[in-house]
């Protein structure tokens, strides 16, 4: 066991993140992470909140996602470029930092490509735990890309979902997803259409990647009592659900000012009423009201979720030690003598 140095910044690279997940166990990691996410949603009023700072291009988006609870400050850098798949690159990549508010010193620098997939799935499961029917065990996964297995594992860990109906426009993606999940005891049904996938499903998760207005789910595909976990629509001009589904669903969101720009509800009037997930988790309002109600979690991802994930990883470092120290901060013996520190680092001249 090791303890991070006060003058060095612990850095969790991709290899160490994977080692940490396996040391904890995939399902325990997701369950514990979900607990951190839920805890921070219940502390919602403490957080600084702002829509993510986004730089959009025709090919995708680059975003910064900052927040603070007054004690810790966290941010994530993340991109979303659907075209990357065709070039053998990830659609989403990310890294993040957690810092001490009192000193401004970084406490953790971490990869967040894997961690974002884990926290997105954990957040989906937290929302479904509050909004889906308690007996929900069958989930349709429409869009079998990089996020799909994480979603399945989180719903298994948190809700006990054990039946999956998979569909993707690329059959190879469905085959890969099914193969990756085969060892975990799911009852898996590959499907040839989205309509087939939703048959008998208690929960429908949509997680497609294309940056476009799309109709992955039409109104006639959503029966009474279903919970929809809409993950893919996460930027302006990108949606997955037909507008009529929204009009007959009870809609729950993370942060309305951001979701109205990026989520499914960008299709609705700016004052259309929605409910906030934090209010359900803190007990201020009810979630699902009856077994036949259609509930929708319009998920776009919010900075508090990344904060929760970074906080969770930092808390695990002492027990597992899967990090390396980075000499990221200049630390002169005399705080005011930064230039002297630079001079003393000059190479020694060689005599002729």
**Rounded CA gap, 211 and 82, in Å?**
7
Whose tokens are 């957040």? That residue is: 123
H-state helical runs in the chain: 14-24, 26-42, 113-131, 148-159, 171-181, 194-197, 243-247, 256-262, 277-281, 303-320, 338-344
Which residue is catalytic, options 234, 290, 333, 337? 234
**Rounded CA gap, 70 and 343, in Å?**
37
Whether 234 is catalytic is yes
Q: What's the gap between Cα 282 and its chain centre?
A: 20
Whose tokens are 């890294």? That residue is: 95
What single-letter DSSP state applies at residue 91?
Answer: S
Contact status, residue 228 vs residue 296, Cβ threshold 8 Å = yes
Long-range own/partner contacts, residues 219-222 (CB < 8 A, 24 or more apart): 219/244, 219/245, 219/248, 221/194, 221/195, 222/198, 222/249, 222/294
What single-letter DSSP state applies at residue 235?
Answer: B
Long-range own/partner contacts, residues 178-181 (CB < 8 A, 24 or more apart): 180/149, 181/149, 181/152, 181/153
Question: End-to-end alpha-carbon separation of the chain, Å?
Answer: 49
Q: Which residues participate in catalysis according to the annotation?
A: 234
């Amino acid at each position: 066991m090791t303890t991070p140095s006060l003058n060095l910044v612990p850095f969790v690279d991709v290899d160490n993140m994977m080692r940490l997940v396996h040391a904890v166990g995939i399902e325990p990691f997701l369950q514990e992470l979900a607990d951190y996410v839920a805890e921070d949603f219940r502390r919602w009023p403490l957080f600084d909140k702002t829509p993510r700072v986004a730089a959009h291009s025709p090919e995708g988006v680059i975003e910064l996602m900052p927040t603070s609870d007054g004690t810790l400050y966290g941010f994530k850098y993340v991109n979303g470029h659907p075209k990357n798949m065709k070039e053998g690159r990830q659609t989403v990549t990310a890294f993040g930092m957690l810092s001490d508010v009192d000193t401004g010193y970084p406490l953790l620098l971490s990869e967040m490509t894997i961690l974002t997939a884990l926290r997105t799935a954990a957040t989906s499961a937290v929302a479904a735990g509050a909004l889906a029917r308690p007996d929900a065990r069958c989930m349709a996964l429409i869009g079998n890309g990089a996020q799909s297995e994480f979603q399945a594992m989180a719903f298994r860990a948190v809700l006990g979902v054990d039946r999956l109906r998979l569909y993707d426009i690329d059959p190879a993606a469905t085959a890969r997803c099914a193969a990756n999940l085969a060892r975990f005891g799911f009852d898996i049904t590959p499907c040839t259409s989205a309509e087939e996938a939703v048959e008998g499903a208690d929960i429908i998760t949509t997680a497609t990647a294309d940056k476009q207005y799309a109709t992955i789910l039409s109104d006639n595909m959503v029966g009474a009592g279903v919970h929809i976990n809409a993950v893919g629509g996460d930027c302006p001009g990108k949606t997955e659900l037909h507008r009529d589904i929204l009009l007959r669903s009870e809609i729950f969101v993370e942060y309305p000012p951001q979701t109205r720009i990026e989520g499914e509800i960008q299709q609705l009037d700016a004052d259309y009423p929605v409910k906030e997930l934090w209010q359900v988790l803190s007990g201020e309002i009810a979630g699902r009201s009856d077994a036949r109600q259609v509930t929708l979690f319009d998920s776009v991802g919010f900075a508090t979720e990344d904060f929760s994930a970074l906080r969770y990883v930092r808390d695990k470092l002492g027990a597992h030690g899967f990090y390396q120290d980075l000499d990221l901060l200049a630390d002169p013996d005399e705080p005011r003598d930064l230039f002297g520190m630079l001079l003393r680092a000059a190479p020694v001249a060689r005599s002729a």
